[in-house]
Structure 1
């Protein structure tokens, strides 16, 4: 890299970082990727963003973008070749409203379903019932997504949108928590939507593995989508 690039602090499996990388890649933006080891976060990231969670994007002028959705919007504002911001005429406001449900109520159910041991004060020893309750709570919303996908291939029409890319990593996390249970549920269109994304070249690119970043190592350029 001959000239400074924006720096993206990321963690491969984090769904927030995943969606940020998807938008950066598809927009054609180049950046330096710094894979973070969450148990040993680099002081450079903590200095840039005291929130201490990924993703964090540091622009060449020093501007810090700390939220994944804001990183997506920044990247797509530079270039949106696949029309994610307004897929098939769907307004950005409508997409953001759906994303808000994902990032709010659904994420709350997902965390408690996948990581019940983090919430002992909420289940008071009744962990199995707690898990079942939050799995069902999450499933209710996934069935709403299934209803959308019955009508068209993606959430807002025949092409992928910002909402699809922002929501998919979290549905993937839910699906992989108990893959056999997920596969047995009556949401074939939702499962197909997830499978299309997971089998795509863009997903393969953004899920490439990199060693944890350390100061002094040769920088890793995160290139635009092919």
Structure 2
């Protein structure tokens, strides 16, 4: 049965946000039909503020009125609806990796990317902390094969990938010489995948009254 746009879930997103990226990846692989609204973070629409006073992206508004404002909640909801590639099969094993990623690694990444906002350490110190906390352990995890937790992609790969991608883009010359060959191959494999390309289309900023865009 076809759904009208008014009956579809609505995803407030920002193309370059790693949290929004991982939500879009899960929604896409799950085949969830939805309307996507690109947000300008400096000029957030009233509809987003009304749905989620926290006003960060991603935010998913379901037709029944439920609101999800955490990217991992959105991922798990989508994959619980439909998980054709088995991303949730190793979800429990993924949790410690995601906890490090979303906590101390993200803090170190922010310090590396914006050292002027985090002057308690130098840029190089923030980078070294990120490498020790997360990137070297991920390199070791990839020794047996191409994915973090087994022979196929899982929640861990998809939840961490956008953040590793962001880290690599801060200083591409440094990354190329970082001595993380397995992690770099993993990153390139995901960044070049049709799935990732399908959730990275550029959209105009959404305004009230716009015709809906589908993910």
How far is the alpha carbon of 1:94 from its aligned partner? Answer: 1.5
- Taking the TM superposition and a 5 Å limit, the aligned residue runs for 1:93-108 are 93-108=92-107
Counterpart in the other structure of 2:123: 131
**2:19 maps to 1:20:** no
Equivalent residue for 2:45, pick from 42, 46, 57: 42
Q: CA RMSD in A?
A: 1.0
Counterpart in the other structure of 2:82: 79
Equivalent residue for 1:146, pick from 139, 142, 146: 139
Whole-angstrom CA distance in 1 between matches of 2:174 and 2:118: 22
**2:168 maps to 1:175:** yes
How far is the alpha carbon of 1:52 from its aligned partner? Answer: 1.1
TM-superposition CA deviations, 1:101-154 (whole Å, max 9, x none): 11011101000000112234x35xxxxxx1111100011120110001111210
Whole-angstrom CA distance in 2 between matches of 1:46 and 1:72: 21
Deviant stretches of 4+, over 4 Å: none
TM-superposition CA deviations, 1:49-71 (whole Å, max 9, x none): 01111000000000000000000
Counterpart in the other structure of 1:58: 61
Q: Tell me the matched-pair count.
A: 211
Structure 1 gaps of 5+ residues are 124-129
Structure 2 gaps of 5+ residues are none
Instruction: Indicate the structure whose relative CO is greater, using CA pairs within 8 Å and at least 6 residues apart.
Output: 1
Equivalent residue for 1:8, pick from 6, 11, 28: 11
How far is the alpha carbon of 1:96 from its aligned partner? Answer: 1.2
Equivalent residue for 1:206, pick from 165, 187, 199: 199
Whole-angstrom CA distance in 2 between matches of 1:93 and 1:2: 36
Counterpart in the other structure of 1:32: 35
How far is the alpha carbon of 1:161 from its aligned partner? Answer: 0.2
Whole-angstrom CA distance in 1 between matches of 2:143 and 2:195: 24
* Aligned-partner SS, 1:9: strand
Counterpart in the other structure of 1:126: none
How far is the alpha carbon of 1:208 from its aligned partner? Answer: 0.5
Whole-angstrom CA distance in 1 between matches of 2:200 and 2:154: 19
Counterpart in the other structure of 2:109: 110
